[in-house]
Amino acid sequence: MKTRAFTILLLLAGLAGARAGDVVINELMYHPPEEREDLQYIELFNQGTQAVDLLGWSFRKGVRFEFGPGAKLAPGGFVVIALDKRAFVRHYTNGIVIVGNFEGKLSHSGEQITLADRDGATVDSVHYGDRGTWPHGADGYSPSLERICPAGASDEPGNWAASKMPVIVRSAGTPGQTNDSYSANLPPIVSKVAFTSIVVPDTDVVVTLNVADADGVQRVELMKVKADGGGAQKGTDAGGAASLPMERVSGDARAGEYRATLPGQPSGTLARFWIEAVDEKGTKRRAPGENEAAPTFSVLHFANTNRATIPFAFLMRTGSSQRSRSGWQGGPAQPEPARGNGAFIFADTNGGPIQLFDHVQVERRSGGWNVHFLRDQPFDGMSSLNVIFENFRWALTEPLGYEVYRRAGVPAPRAGHMRVWENGRPRGYHLWVEQVNKAFLNYRRRDSDGDMFKLVWYGRDVIGQHDKRTNPLTGHTNLLSLINALQRARGGDQWKLIREHFNVGEMASYYAVNHLIANWDGFHNNYFAYLDLNGTGKWEVYPWDLDKTFGDFDGAPDDYAFYDLPLTYGAQGDVSPPLDRRSTTRNHRGPFGGVSWWRGGGYFSKPLLANAAFRGHFLARLRDLCETEFTEEKLYPWINDMERRLAPEVRVRAVETGQSPEHALDSLRSDMESIRRFIKGRRAFLLRELKQ
């Protein structure tokens, strides 16, 4: 039996012989996945031969908790202290001895946790972390942080490891049980691993590291792994023997420096390896740990031959993802795999820098992939990237739309284009779009602990239409309270409420740009709503999914000449224009009782755009942008440059997909010209309306 009872009735003689130092902090779940803060816990272990009375013992640094009467820990026994005892019991197996709840919460980035006895003397203390040599697998990927050797030092990062990595994302660990990483003898400590991670083809790579062990080091080996699934260009077989012995080049058997050389490989080869160190007692250490989010080291042999006008991206998928995106109907998504299944290689233009992101999750989606990067290795500050190609025109209007929002001062996703290979197969140019998530907030100096919702039109009510993306445990209370207050208030009282709860300038700019680019779908849908809980206490909105903009809608005319979206659109009281039964493209019936592009406004847009005071700010901002940013002089150069960069890519994609390059180029020119006409026509319409 792995689980030992938490004894309530023990003989006084046994208690008297116990040593407080036998009790150690044995396991921490400091960063549960999926923002399940309620599943945080601390585990204590009694490594001694006598029971220990915990009455009056307490945690005094980090979290706060004091043991009450009857708290006795048997020899070889475990006890768990949880942030939320009820949530813990619902999630983990019955039979675990648990007390709680502790006050405060464990920091995701690390802090000192101190256990003191009834006299206030420190029994054990650990200052854990999520950087440097501390295990990264416990930092939100699903595993807990486990002590390897109970008798080893608490503050030695090498005495801690991630618990077993589950197949899918879920709060794991070994509460109330022997740790997955347990060893009676501390394994060798591997440190200062050094090598060049990106090298030119056919270049040998020297790997050096230090290994220390009080019992003496018996051997150190570099274990090579074949990266399956095709590489950047020519496959991924690292070649050669499965392992390389590492030679000690300085020091002695107790503490020395070791070296081995990986042979050079052809361009496009991704070589993965890990280190195995064994001491004289036969105790093994694997570095990186097998339960890390990145369980190997990686070397990319690559020659950047990119002389194109856009960057190159090479996606390596080593297996099909178990996860698929939910449909637009809102059906449940499949469970998310806990570990990445591939690599992302970025080669900038003109032979510029190469970046390798290994052990990422490359997830298939409609029209492309979602790429999820490791927390400690984001791509230019982005933790997730959408790489898509759904429509020639949408690949143009999405980045242009986000550019207009940014020029207006609205936080918007970054976007651009890259030529993509998947497992060595050319896929042509794709649009890439930054995902709106916590990394998006951090990059824009927003507090990532705020509430954020994604608007989805298919939900049945307020909650169903606001998919909560952060703080899942706190629900929709703040949102519901605000919407109810907005609907009840009128006039000056409503304006006071708006000023109190919204970033008025950002909201006015958002709705102004919605009108500039005819983002008819962005008033009730396709945006993210964010509430800054710890700073301003105000709401903002961020645009998303700008495919049907710049004149596009379901059944749009071939020339996309949709310039007259009315200025009342999105406001309370706006009504659909009359149907034109003779029209096959313009004012034909849509799914919401009016013409195809009409919607009845959103929970924010209806009260804000109908409020006289806010509407004054909105119209003033719209007029200002028409005169300063939404002009031919400002936007045409940006559009012309995008056309210049994409023209050769359109030709390349056409050849790869068996289409006519000239026909594809004609389509690009036609789409670009219609976008220019839209800007001119829409601006003229708005300026006329604003004069009335």
d(CA 83, CA 42): 9
Which residue ranges of the chain lie beneath pLDDT 50? 1-18, 228-240, 321-322, 324-330, 583-585
Angstrom distances, CA of residue 527 to CA of 436, 522, 590: 10, 6, 21
Predicted pLDDT of residue 238: 43
d(CA 314, CA 317): 10
| 94 burial level (CB within 10 Å; 0-12, 13-18, 19+) | exposed
pLDDT, the chain, mean:
90
Q: Are 429 and 389 in contact (CB under 8 A)?
A: yes
Of 529, 555, 559, 534, nearest to 544 (Cα)? 529
Q: Where is 317: in which H helix or E strand?
A: strand 312-317
How do 98-100 and 78-82 pair as beta strands? Answer: parallel
> pLDDT (tens digit, 9 = 90+) per residue, 136-158?
999 999 999 999 999 999 999 99
Of 210, 341, 196, 179, nearest to 275 (Cα)? 210
The phi, psi pair for 427, rounded to 5°, reads: -120, 0
Show Cβ contacts of residue 691 under 8 Å, excluding neighbours closer than 6 positions. Answer: none
H, E, C per residue of 385-416: EEEECCCCCHHHHHHHHHHHHHHCCCCCCCEE
d(CA 343, CA 356): 7
DSSP 8-state assignment for residue 590: -
Written as six digits, the tokens of 651 are: 């030709």
Q: Are 379 and 401 in contact (CB under 8 A)?
A: no
The phi, psi pair for 212, rounded to 5°, reads: -135, 140
Predicted pLDDT of residue 581: 59
What pTM did the predictor assign? 0.91
DSSP 8-state assignment for residue 338: S
Amino acid at 279: D
User: What do you get for the CA distance between the two ends of the chain, in Å?
Assistant: 82
Predicted pLDDT of residue 459: 87
Q: Could you give the dihedral angle defined by the CA atoms of residues 47, 52, 54 and 57, in that order, rounded to the nearest 10 degrees? A: -60
Predicted pLDDT of residue 241: 57
Predicted pLDDT of residue 591: 57
d(CA 311, CA 346): 7
CB count within 10 Å of CB 249 equals 10
Predicted pLDDT of residue 230: 43
Domains of the chain: 12-162 (2.60.40.1260), 189-301 (2.60.40.10), 312-434 (no CATH), 438-631 (no CATH)
CB count within 10 Å of CB 552 equals 25
Q: Where is 114: in which H helix or E strand?
A: strand 112-116
Instruction: Provide the strand spans (E) within 104-202.
Output: 112-116, 122-127, 145-147, 160-162, 189-194, 198-199
Predicted pLDDT of residue 351: 81
Q: Is the peptide bond before 26 cis (omega within 30 degrees of 0)?
A: no
DSSP 8-state assignment for residue 334: P
**Which position has the token pair 């998928």?**
317
Written as six digits, the tokens of 251 are: 């020091």
Predicted pLDDT of residue 12: 29
Q: Is the peptide bond before 578 cis (omega within 30 degrees of 0)?
A: no
d(CA 649, CA 111): 50
Return contacts of 253-256, CB within 8 angstroms, 24+ apart: 253/216, 253/217, 253/280, 254/212, 254/213, 254/214, 254/216, 254/217, 255/210, 255/211, 255/212, 256/210, 256/211, 256/212, 256/217
